[in-house]
Structure 1
Amino acid sequence: MSELVRIVLDHHPIQSAPEEVSIWRNRTFRTVFASYSLSLLGNTFHSIALNLWVLQTTGSAKLMSLVLITHLVVSMLFGSIAGTVADRVNRRRLMVATDLFRFIIVGGIALCMALPDIPFFLILLLTAIVALAGAFRGPAFQASLIEVVGKRGVAQAVAAISVSDNLIRIAGFAAGGTAVAMFGGVFAVAIDASTFLLSGMLLLFAGRFPYAAPERQDREKTSFRTDFIEGFRVVWHNRFIRGVVALLPLVMFFFLSTFMLIQVMAVQVWQASPFVFGLLEACIPLGYVLGSIIIMKFDKRIRHRGKLALISITLMGPLFVAISWLPTAAAALPLIGLVGVLFSFSTTILFILLRVAIDPSLQGRVFGLLGTLTSIAPPVGLAVFSALSDSFGPAIIMMYSGAAMLVAGIAAYMGLRSMREYS
């Protein structure tokens, strides 16, 4: 990074915000929140635009799946490494660098798409580089959130990020598909590149994070290997952190896999109309948004948060069983929406507790490891559940999945005492 950019990054004075001030009155948070939303929009926009372009130009679903697999493999391989890097450097600088780097590389992908006879391997290689940059930005952002709002603002901030996640992903996929249909894949990917540029510029002028720890050079220096191992040691030796890191991927495994079975049931069993199917697709994100808004609104009044998260996980199991017994998609809509609310309560609250429990200097490593595990669990679950659904039908597999989730939730409630008693 040039000296000029470094001066701009470090020139802003550290802001001092009162602990009880709303996160929306925190200028740094508003700027970082806008940057995150733009970066996420770029990710979703890029994903759908590139996938549609590959499918339209090659007609090969296999090549399109290679793009998805590339993102997955890069996330799995580099999550923990990226988290360690995020704990060793200035996280804001790292996020700025990755955003500006992705702007250049995604612009290069758009150029390759515009030129004739460009080998697909080159586009796939550039896609892997974009995914690698994203893998480094993820834990840097997750770990820096507490540096922006402090511990008292974490609950509201995480809930706000959860709302943004769902709304931006829906809007990003819709906007990406529309842009490809109207203007073509090259234009869509070029627009996508601009979102990363804007995201980086917002971070560049956000000012130093109010609650950031001292610079790395002012602290005791340790080797990268030592820091890398320390991340795993912290997770392994802390019961609460170990429980959350183990539980979140398990929840993702059951939830996303079972929701896929609901989609299969809507088509094969319920024979839902396109309108009802669209409502079904919207129920989960809308329920998630509602749950996140409740947490954001009443976070100071919520007590026994660990217990609430575990109960929410447990209750999703019986709801999935009930949904598998229903005769129509319309009758399942309220229960599916409720599942979305419970999913929000469980995951959002666990992410909040994790940020409060972990020392800020270690959060990059923990969230990097968590990102790796949560990126592995859903594809494995989808592969297993889809194969079982083809053999035995979606309803019976959903019923057993709900029962297994109920058992797992009860076991977690009984066994994870440190989480159950965390308020």
Structure 2
Amino acid sequence: MASAESAPYRDAGAAASLTPDNESMDDGSDPHWLRKVILFLSGQTVSLFGSLLVSYAVFWYLTITYRSGVIMMLAAVFGFLPQAVVSIFGGVWADRHSRKLLIMGADGAIAVTTLALALIMMSGYDEVWLIFLTMALRSAGAGIQMPAVSALIPQIAPKRALIRVNGINGSIQSAMQLVTPAAAGGLYAWASAATGGSAASIVPIFFIDVVTAAIGVGLLALIPVGAVRRATDVPTGYFADLLDGVRYVIHHAFVRWLLVVFAIIFVLTVAPTNLTPLMLVRSFDAGAQQNVVLLAVLEIAFSIGMMLGGVAVASLFAGRSRIAMIVASSLVFGVLAIGLGLSPNVWVFFGFMFAIGLAVPFFSTSSMTLLQETVEPERQGRVFGFVGIVMAVAMPFGMVVFGPLADVVPIELLLVAAGILTFVVVGLAVWLPAGRRAIVAAREASAAHDPSAGAAAVESLMQRENAS
């Protein structure tokens, strides 16, 4: 799974400052930032291609073979929960160590794990628990990668370009998600026909993932990245940094609010829509071979939407309010989930998946950019680690609820119920006083485009809360 060389992290106190390398980026004097961004995005794109091939092939194999909500639940648990556990430490590692080397090490470990699974399955052993184990190990690697990748981007790109870099990155990822379902569908169908539909049909895709991971690591090795250092030399320990990150998230009004919104979206929208492939093969069943084609079309429709949404965010909406895009897209997710559940035929179903994909960059790109703009650089690894924890816990938690229900209740009904709940809960998160205050603080910090403004906004907010 794709998700750097900074100098060794220096233990320090609470005060922070950027290195000269980062400062030069802020005033636009670094002539090499664009080259760094291109190399970084290129490496991540190649690695992502292989990872998506594996993800689609494994998920389709489990869906078509078992047609079980419980199996889908277990796939979500093993695919996301380890990331949550590791992210507790991954965020701190991203602030204490080389983010570049963390990404390279995690990607390499994921590739080795995938290679081991391929070799074992070639010997004829293909029990489902082995697939779940590999999913868990890959997820653990993502727990290291995700905060390091998110914190590395503002190190190599100037703040004035963050929304565009994130938007372009989202569009590239969406383009990969457009290409890889077709590639995965063709490879899976060919291998499935050759192996009689056994688990060995996904082995060739595992080898492709190993090669793309090696290319991604090699490109990342070419990027020099400066260190993010702190102003004082007062040493702190690992757990002190971890506790500092926890306190920061608790007391930072906007970060705390955004984590709540992430949890809502992942429990009530992402988890239920993760059942759409199962709904497709149940409600619009077209036979084993045709189901692979329909599953590929479903992912392609979603990916086209994401790609167009990413282009729109990077070009047409780069100067728009990040908060407005987060809130609007969150409410739209609820409406579209209802539409999925009420789809009268497969083409309308594909249309709603396209619309969901279109809305995703307005939520994800705006959220990541706003965090990068408002959180101090030396705390970004920990903050993105907590974001990863919330996403990785909320998704399997939602699937623990919706997965078993999908075996006793029509998935269509679950999608409608989840959509209504999303609309109501997000509305409350925006309407309640705490949400309104957090939004005001984030707007103040984003308008300044200065990490220190985030702290000032939070301090101002806390003073107003104490006064009230």
- The normalised TM-score by structure 1 is 0.79
Q: Give the corresponding residue for 1:221.
A: 235
C-alpha distance in 1 between matches for 2:275 and 2:137: 33
What whole-Å deviation, never above 9, does each CA across 1:377-401 have from its counterpart, x for those lacking one?
A: 2233234234445545344433332
Alpha-carbon spacing, 1:191–1:261, altered in 2? closer, same or farther (3 Å): closer
- Give the C-alpha shift of residue 375 in structure 1: 1.6
2:358 is aligned with 1:341: yes
Greater mean alpha carbon deviation, residues 167-176 or residues 143-152: 167-176
What whole-Å deviation, never above 9, does each CA across 1:326-374 have from its counterpart, x for those lacking one?
A: 5444445555433332333123211211121111111111111221221
Match of 1:191 among 182, 203, 208: 208
2:326 is aligned with 1:309: yes
Q: Give the corresponding residue for 2:257.
A: 243
Alpha-carbon spacing, 1:80–1:329, altered in 2? closer, same or farther (3 Å): same
- Give the C-alpha shift of residue 226 in structure 1: 0.5
Alpha-carbon spacing, 1:394–1:294, altered in 2? closer, same or farther (3 Å): same
Aligned-pair RMSD on alpha carbons? 4.3
C-alpha distance in 2 between matches for 1:171 and 1:159: 18
- Give the C-alpha shift of residue 203 in structure 1: 1.1
Greater mean alpha carbon deviation, residues 251-260 or residues 143-152: 251-260
Aligned residues: 411
C-alpha distance in 1 between matches for 2:311 and 2:118: 37
2:57 is aligned with 1:39: no
- Give the C-alpha shift of residue 256 in structure 1: 2.2
Alpha-carbon spacing, 1:342–1:172, altered in 2? closer, same or farther (3 Å): closer
- Give the C-alpha shift of residue 137 in structure 1: 1.8
Alpha-carbon spacing, 1:246–1:64, altered in 2? closer, same or farther (3 Å): closer
Which residue type is aligned with residue 213 of structure 1? V
C-alpha distance in 2 between matches for 1:69 and 1:316: 23
Q: Give the corresponding residue for 1:132.
A: 140
- Give the C-alpha shift of residue 192 in structure 1: 1.8
Match of 1:95 among 103, 109, 124: 103
Greater mean alpha carbon deviation, residues 373-382 or residues 324-333: 324-333
Q: Give the corresponding residue for 1:151.
A: 159
Which residue type is aligned with residue 393 of structure 1? P
- Give the C-alpha shift of residue 123 in structure 1: 8.1
Cα contact 2:310–2:361 (8 A) shared by 1? yes
C-alpha distance in 1 between matches for 2:131 and 2:347: 43
What whole-Å deviation, never above 9, does each CA across 1:223-245 have from its counterpart, x for those lacking one?
A: 00101111111111111000111
Q: Give the corresponding residue for 1:420.
A: 439
Alpha-carbon spacing, 1:310–1:66, altered in 2? closer, same or farther (3 Å): closer
Identity over aligned pairs, percent: 21
C-alpha distance in 2 between matches for 1:326 and 1:7: 49
2:315 is aligned with 1:297: yes
- Give the C-alpha shift of residue 52 in structure 1: 8.0
How do 1:173-184 and structure 2 match up within 5 A? 173-176=181-184, 178-179=186-187, 182=190
Alpha-carbon spacing, 1:298–1:21, altered in 2? closer, same or farther (3 Å): farther
C-alpha distance in 2 between matches for 1:59 and 1:277: 15
Q: Which runs of 5+ in 2 are unaligned?
A: 9-19, 192-200, 448-468
Q: Give the corresponding residue for 2:456.
A: none
Q: Give the corresponding residue for 1:252.
A: 266
Q: Give the corresponding residue for 1:399.
A: 416
- Give the C-alpha shift of residue 95 in structure 1: 1.7
Which residue type is aligned with residue 89 of structure 1? H
Cα contact 2:179–2:300 (8 A) shared by 1? no
Q: Give the corresponding residue for 1:285.
A: 303
- Give the C-alpha shift of residue 221 in structure 1: 2.6
C-alpha distance in 1 between matches for 2:397 and 2:301: 24
What whole-Å deviation, never above 9, does each CA across 1:165-213 have from its counterpart, x for those lacking one?
A: 333345445545544665765543233212222111111111225xx42
C-alpha distance in 2 between matches for 1:237 and 1:100: 36
C-alpha distance in 2 between matches for 1:407 and 1:218: 46
2:221 is aligned with 1:204: yes
Alpha-carbon spacing, 1:384–1:354, altered in 2? closer, same or farther (3 Å): same
Which residue type is aligned with residue 341 of structure 1? L
Alpha-carbon spacing, 1:263–1:116, altered in 2? closer, same or farther (3 Å): closer
- Give the C-alpha shift of residue 113 in structure 1: 3.9
Match of 1:372 among 350, 369, 389: 389
Which residue type is aligned with residue 228 of structure 1? L
Greater mean alpha carbon deviation, residues 68-77 or residues 78-87: 68-77
C-alpha distance in 2 between matches for 1:121 and 1:311: 40
C-alpha distance in 2 between matches for 1:396 and 1:329: 16
- Give the C-alpha shift of residue 103 in structure 1: 4.1
Cα contact 2:147–2:381 (8 A) shared by 1? yes
Alpha-carbon spacing, 1:155–1:124, altered in 2? closer, same or farther (3 Å): same
- Give the C-alpha shift of residue 308 in structure 1: 2.8
- Give the C-alpha shift of residue 91 in structure 1: 0.8
Q: Give the corresponding residue for 2:402.
A: 385
Alpha-carbon spacing, 1:266–1:48, altered in 2? closer, same or farther (3 Å): closer
Q: Which runs of 5+ in 1 are unaligned?
A: none
Alpha-carbon spacing, 1:353–1:117, altered in 2? closer, same or farther (3 Å): closer
